[in-house]
Amino acid sequence: MRTEILPVRPLTKAAFAPFGSVIETDGAERRLINGGTTERFHALAEATALGEGARAIISIFRGQPFALPLEIAMLERHPLGSQAFVPLDRRPYLVVVAPDAGDRPGDPLAFLASGIQGVNYAAGTWHHPLLALDSASEFVVVDRAGPGDNLQEYFFSDARFRIESLPDA
């Protein structure tokens, strides 16, 4: 059994690109609409809902905070749909993802999302369930509903991954 300390990097579009989209105004396509009274930061992410009878739904998640050090013991994925999280409390949170390594996750990567960054996990992307920090925090979530099995979980048995500290602000 090997033990790895996961470094936590600031979340950026470039680093996250293999796993999905970062939902943020920074660097986004900006359109002026509504007679100039609204800026539209356009199509930061797309909701994918695969399969007969699939629908994209909007929910609110309220996540309890996690404290460090934190062990990443499992990841999950949704093969039939994307899943987007946008923070409603403007508080940073952790994002842990992994590349696929043959129907199981490879080694995870950890990112610190700022309070003004959302993420959209592409369909089939291994990720850890919601990791709020500091306080219970709400997120608007856009994901898939409909028939079919849209949840796969993987519990690491041959390695331990630990997050011990956050990047300096």
Token digits of residue 145: 């509903």
Q: Assign 34 to helix, strand or coil.
A: helix
Q: Which of 5, 17, 33, 68 binds a copy of itself (CB under 8 A)?
A: 33
| Residue from the set 20, 63, 105, 108 that interacts with a copy of itself by CB under 8 A | 63
User: For residue 137, which phi and psi values (nearest 5 degrees)?
Assistant: -135, 140
Q: Which position has the token pair 């609204």? A: 38
Which residue in the set 1, 60, 67, 169 belongs to the binding site for a copy of itself (CB under 8 A)? 60
| Residue 20, number of CB atoms within 10 A of its CB | 22
Which region among 6-14, 18-26, 95-103, 156-164 touches a copy of itself (by CB under 8 A)?
18-26
What DSSP string runs through 62-105? EEPEE-SSEEE-EEEE-TTB-EEEEESS---EEEEEE-BSSSSB
Confirm if 133 and 25 have CB atoms less than 8 A apart: no
Site string for a copy of itself, 108-147 (x = CB under 8 A): --------x-x-x--------xx-------x-xxx--x--
In the complex with a copy of itself, the residue whose CB is nearer, 112 or 120, is 120
Q: Decide if residue 50 touches a copy of itself (CB under 8 A).
A: no
Min CB(27)–a copy of itself separation in Å: 12
